[in-house]
Structure 1
Amino acid sequence: MRHALLASLILAALPSFAAAQAFDSAALADAAKLRTQADSDSGAYGLVESLTTEVGPRMAGSPAFDRAVEWAQGKFKSLGYDRVYLEPVTYPVWRRGHERAEVLGPFPQRLIITALGGSVGTGGKPLDAEVVEFATLDALKAAPDGSLKGKIAYISNRMERFKDGHGYGPAVAARGGGANEASKKGAVAVVIRSIGTDSDRMPHTGMMRYAEGVAKIPAAALSNPDADLLSNMIRRGKPVKIRLDIDAGLDGQKSTYNVIGEIRGRELPDEVVVIGGHLDSWDLGTGAIDDGAGVAITMAAGALIGKLDRAPRRTIRVIAFANEEQGLFGGRAYAQAHAAQVDAHQVGAESDFGAGRIYAFSAGVDPAARATVDEIAKQLQPLGIEYRVDKGGAGPDIGPMAKLGMPWAQLAQDGTDYFDYHHTANDTLDKIEPKAMDQQAAAYAVFAYLSAESAADFGRSPNGEGQE
């Protein structure tokens, strides 16, 4: 009995023993140093202030995005990264011109809209038609074929607010597929309630896509108050006619770049820990929370690691991805270029959910590396970050690599108010709290450093999951 009890105690202690062996005392001391230093002054807020002030909106394909590439190169170099380089990314260029809308009758008023990314225009002249409201995309799908001939479909579903943003998925289907479903029913255009949780008169843009073989019709989003206004008019029982005047469309292709900075590893420089955010933004605001914050957080985290007396065992690779907004082009290009090096990627994590504090940590790694991840989670706890086992998923731009098997981690940000500003003119620097940026940079620095320093290999993602 005594021997059996001793054996059981030894077995129970093995996971903690393995975790202790994953990091030596010097590594844990460096992690504590990073946590304390970054949480007091990480430099992340200064980076996002610089990006939004000196570059501002940086829609993919625009001259401003070219300036953002130059900005990112310059910042990586000034922050002391060991290696700074570019990798090409090619994509179609979408152009926004003007966009106007108004109710012609029975209650003439102006409407505040924005064209959805990828939309065609109204053909160089205003489009006048009666509006038919649908509560959801599914309701539009259920409409009889041909029932919307010559009319404008209006989808009025409202997004719900949650800390983790899970109301976005059910609501955003209207944006992505509304034009296709409306066109199939004979509609000449579609308007949707903005995919957002605010009550500001600022519409939310975002990408939509046309299906093969379906006639392309203009697609736009109404601000939430304007959607309420239009619904109120329709409820009065009289036909409501609106005018849309949109100039938008595709304008060739362009090649730009993912911008990459590296802190080189001391023992395994060809093995990498990837962190980053996307450098592009929509054109309405200055892209502070989406995703200037993510670029600044991860750039600052890597720079702090680079200032340690001892470089990490593996390389820290920070990526400012190109054109996430219009189709994950930067993430897909990176995965295509590095598909043969999946096993050299220890783990990847992306900051692309605003500037709210990180409240939870999770990871998708090989089960054999679980004890090491447990220890990383323990080192994140002083920052107020809980550990969620078997939760979460990879970020958008690292999703393509995660699908190839790269392990991933999620440092979940508080997104309670994220969709108040997402893809709007209200996405500006004043929405960011500097101390929240420090907490996030501290978390990314600790996570990336310990992941790179670990004696354990994280293997392959057990399920190959990514989020897009």
Structure 2
Amino acid sequence: MIRPMLLAGALLAAPAPALAQRQAPPTPAPVDHVVAKLRDAALTDTLAYDIVEGLTTEVGQRLAGTEAEARARTWAVARLRALGFRNVHVEPYQMPVWVRGEETAEVIAPFPQRLKLVALGNSGATPAAGITAEVAIFRSYGDLANAPDGSLAGKIAYVGNAMQPTQDGSSYGANGVGRFVGPALAARKGALAVVIRSIGTDAHRNPHTGGTNWPAGQQPIPAAALSVSDAKLLERIADRGGPIRLHLTLTPHFTGQGESGNVVAEVPGRDPKAGIVLIGGHLDSWDLGTGAIDDGAGVAITTAAAKRLLDGPRPRRTIRVVWFGAEEPGGFGGREYARVHGRERHATAQESDFGADRVWRFEVNLPDAASSVTDRLQSALAPLGIGKGPGVGGDGTDVGPTIALGVGSVDLNQDGTRYFDTHHTPDDTLDRIDPAQLAQNVAAWTTMLAIVANAPEEIGPVAPRK
């Protein structure tokens, strides 16, 4: 360790060229005092918590296309109008509606015992009496992919994973393929049905639901997620050798076409030519919990932030808040929004759909002409503990179709370390929300909106993220 006085002497004795080579740190962009005041006031926000508390208490679960989601839209319109938002309305559309039925599983041999599982969204059904078949064990999606075609005829496929918590949620993409397309792959290889280890990071006996996808023309087979605990149990039974026989009953079904819709509200801007700042989250939820972190928190955060701009001087750009419908079964609301509004000029589009824990990073996709916007964001978000990430912004199921049209984005990345402990489970309830972290989200979104919606720079089209 160099003592301070010796270090000072060494610097004074250094030749001038050596001193000239030392670079001073870049001067951060100044933070507008109005932005700073809005940001700091938002740290005490209670509106976001009030919204998510009301939504989960007065409506509860909101399965897409059902009467519950319709009640949620009615609730949302009333709440947004009461808050003073302009142009509040519903934009309805039709979608196929899937509902849950009976869900049971039981190991018949070699060690009889019941298992906890739930059907995956869009799952096919067993006969009412269920099916009994031998289980083919695959510890990963890769193992399933390497199985020969036809090798699963007459069997139930089990697909495992080893998902671990990550701050950025990257483990979801790495392991989620087992749910997204694993059942369809098992079906192509001849499986009667498929059960997967839940895509989750918990050690509870609460299984995680979520949608699965079937290629056009493929008949869905029964597909379910075992709780993480019971998936590990099934693997331990397999380690003992010998065949495993499972009795599985799943009776979900499609009820036909039903109505969903996007709830739209606005903070009117001064300059119609400057483009719209699109924000929001999704109103629908899975039906196991009450949709607090997925995504009651997201609509609450973005709405509370927009309300702070609504109550102040009119921003340059219109801020459009959308509570998207039918995200969970396949992103219907986002595609419908882009179909209806894709020809309007949007400056940026961004959503909140990763729970309610603190924002720790932001990433952008803005044109070079608006690079100074990024500098101002970096300075204004730093006091909230938010740094700029190395990636390119532009993420989200609901805003993705709009972003794909060449619209810029500012992603506010939340800490996902504990998100997948309760994601898509019965534990997705208000209890999982920390009010202080929720308020930090509102402060981050308020800061972003105050800068982007009022930026004097033109925010034009960008190259979509690859």
1:382 is matched with 383
In the alignment, the residues of structure 2 paired with residue 270 and residue 207 of structure 1 have an alpha-carbon distance, to the nearest angstrom, of 37
Answering whether residue 230 of structure 2 is matched by residue 188 of structure 1, we say no
Q: CA deviation at 1:275?
A: 0.9
Instruction: From 219, 228, 234, give the equivalent of 2:232.
Output: 228
Aligned residues of 1:361 and 1:387 also touching (Cα < 8 A): yes
- Superposed CA RMSD: 1.9
Aligned residues of 2:274 and 2:316 also touching (Cα < 8 A): no
Instruction: From 339, 343, 351, give the equivalent of 2:342.
Output: 339
Once the two structures are superposed, what CA deviation does each residue of 1:162-182 show, in whole Å capped at 9, x if it has no partner? 110100111111112222221
Answering whether residue 121 of structure 2 is matched by residue 120 of structure 1, we say no
Instruction: From 248, 255, 262, give the equivalent of 1:251.
Output: 255
TM-aligned CA distance change 1:452 to 1:16, over 3 Å: farther
Greater shift in the superposed pair: 398-407 or 260-269:
260-269
Answering whether residue 333 of structure 2 is matched by residue 330 of structure 1, we say yes
2:142 is matched with 138
1:458 is matched with 459
The runs of 5 or more residues in structure 1 that have no matched partner are 1-11
Alignment of 1:77-92 (within 5 A): 77-92=81-96
Once the two structures are superposed, what CA deviation does each residue of 1:242-287 show, in whole Å capped at 9, x if it has no partner? 1111111211112221001111112337731111010010000110
Count of matched residue pairs: 443
Answering whether residue 55 of structure 2 is matched by residue 54 of structure 1, we say no
Q: CA deviation at 1:394?
A: 2.0
Q: CA deviation at 1:41?
A: 2.2
Identity of aligned residues (%): 47
Alignment of 1:13-92 (within 5 A): 28-92=32-96
Alignment of 1:392-431 (within 5 A): 392-431=393-432
2:352 is matched with 351
Aligned residues of 2:267 and 2:310 also touching (Cα < 8 A): yes
2:320 is matched with 317
Counterpart secondary structure, 1:70: helix
In the alignment, the residues of structure 1 paired with residue 93 and residue 189 of structure 2 have an alpha-carbon distance, to the nearest angstrom, of 36
Aligned residues of 2:324 and 2:398 also touching (Cα < 8 A): yes
Amino acid at match of 1:464: P
Q: CA deviation at 1:392?
A: 4.2
Amino acid at match of 1:246: L
1:298 is matched with 302
In the alignment, the residues of structure 2 paired with residue 67 and residue 269 of structure 1 have an alpha-carbon distance, to the nearest angstrom, of 35
Once the two structures are superposed, what CA deviation does each residue of 1:272-308 show, in whole Å capped at 9, x if it has no partner? 1111010010000110000000000011111111111
1:4 is matched with none
In the alignment, the residues of structure 1 paired with residue 34 and residue 99 of structure 2 have an alpha-carbon distance, to the nearest angstrom, of 47
Once the two structures are superposed, what CA deviation does each residue of 1:168-219 show, in whole Å capped at 9, x if it has no partner? 1111111122222212222110000000000010000011112234443100
Amino acid at match of 2:323: A
Aligned residues of 1:96 and 1:248 also touching (Cα < 8 A): yes
Normalized against structure 2, the TM-score is what?
0.91
In the alignment, the residues of structure 2 paired with residue 216 and residue 52 of structure 1 have an alpha-carbon distance, to the nearest angstrom, of 32
Counterpart secondary structure, 1:131: strand
1:6 is matched with none
Aligned residues of 2:350 and 2:394 also touching (Cα < 8 A): no
1:98 is matched with 102
1:276 is matched with 280
Q: CA deviation at 1:89?
A: 2.8
1:373 is matched with 374
Q: CA deviation at 1:371?
A: 1.2
Amino acid at match of 1:198: D
The runs of 5 or more residues in structure 2 that have no matched partner are 1-22
In the alignment, the residues of structure 2 paired with residue 193 and residue 362 of structure 1 have an alpha-carbon distance, to the nearest angstrom, of 32
Once the two structures are superposed, what CA deviation does each residue of 1:115-171 show, in whole Å capped at 9, x if it has no partner? 000001102221100111012222112212222211101011221211101001111
Amino acid at match of 1:333: E
Normalized against structure 1, the TM-score is what?
0.91
Once the two structures are superposed, what CA deviation does each residue of 1:350-397 show, in whole Å capped at 9, x if it has no partner? 100011100111110111111122112211111111122444432221
Once the two structures are superposed, what CA deviation does each residue of 1:310-350 show, in whole Å capped at 9, x if it has no partner? 11111111110001111111111011111212xx2111111
Aligned residues of 2:393 and 2:409 also touching (Cα < 8 A): no
Answering whether residue 242 of structure 2 is matched by residue 238 of structure 1, we say yes
Instruction: From 159, 180, 184, give the equivalent of 1:155.
Output: 159
Aligned residues of 1:363 and 1:389 also touching (Cα < 8 A): no
Q: CA deviation at 1:103?
A: 0.7
| Runs of 4+ displaced beyond 4 Å | none
Amino acid at match of 2:315: P
2:267 is matched with 263
Aligned residues of 1:276 and 1:319 also touching (Cα < 8 A): yes
TM-aligned CA distance change 1:390 to 1:165, over 3 Å: closer
Aligned residues of 1:269 and 1:313 also touching (Cα < 8 A): no
